Amino acid sequence: MNPRHLFVDSRMTGLCAYCGGDPETRDHVPSKILLDDPLPVDLPTVDACAKCNGSFSLDEEYVACFLDCVISGTCKPESVSRQKVSRALSRNPQLMARMADSCRINEEGIQTWVPDDSRLRNIVLKLARGHVNYELSLTLVEEPNLVYAEPFILMSEFDVSKFEQGNMIDSRLFPEVGSRSFLRKLGSRPYDRNPGPWIVVQEGRYRYSVEQTDGVIVRIVLSEYLACLVKWQFDRNED
């Protein structure tokens, strides 16, 4: 067996990773705007329909810009830390104005940022579905039971530790035979590059983990700042 070639059931392939429709294109997961240049080699891609592939771009740009503005403490293009965000803000005054409107300064001079929750949720869920498709060869179009995103700095030490470790109790369970996650469990090359629960796409910029237990749990960390979790809980009593 060549571990570079997956051998999942053909019934689980050939679908858009996001809606289950006919795939007409390929989409990067994570999106390029969430990463810095030079991009990682072998950036994960999944099948996607043309509608889904084009419908997330504006929200992805928003999330990338919002995060970097928060981390940098400014929405000025010349002062943000990431070049891609600087270019996006420079060429889009409306986007920069939206970032400025997200910033709040109270009477004590403390700065806070208010995200567009619907856009953030849209992208976190999109990323999670893409990772599930890539790692488990599953297409989950159902609504998840939980979509969660919170900065590490607002989480307790206990919650951070729990998030980082994942579901250690069920770590013995094997995912779908022939999927990338299955081959990672076996330690098969080239899927043995990320020991431990986390798959690091780009150091300091993006990492994720996919777990299959009595459901599917996806954890994502953006810019080592935002902790995201998406969970699908399956009914064990289903026929």
Q: Does residue 169 carry a pLDDT above 50?
A: no
Q: For residue 194, what are the domain limits?
A: 12-55+117-233
Q: What is the mean pLDDT of the chain?
A: 86
Task: Provide the pLDDT for residue 184.
Answer: 57
Q: How many CB atoms lie within 10 A of CB 36?
A: 18
Residue 47 resides in a domain: yes
d(CA 116, CA 111): 17
Residue 100 domain-assigned?
no
Asked if residue 32 is part of any domain, the answer here is: yes
Task: Identify whether 86 is part of a domain.
Answer: no
Q: Which pTM was predicted?
A: 0.84
The answer, yes or no, to whether residue 235 has pLDDT greater than 90, is no
Q: Is residue 106 part of a domain?
A: no
* Residue 83 forms part of a structural domain: no
Give the C-alpha separation, 143 to 131, whole Å.
15
Total count of domains within the chain: 1
Q: Is residue 121 part of a domain?
A: yes
Contact 216, 136 (CB under 8 A): yes
Contact predicate 56/36, CB 8 Å: no
Assess whether pLDDT exceeds 60 at residue 236. no
Residue 139 lies in a domain: yes
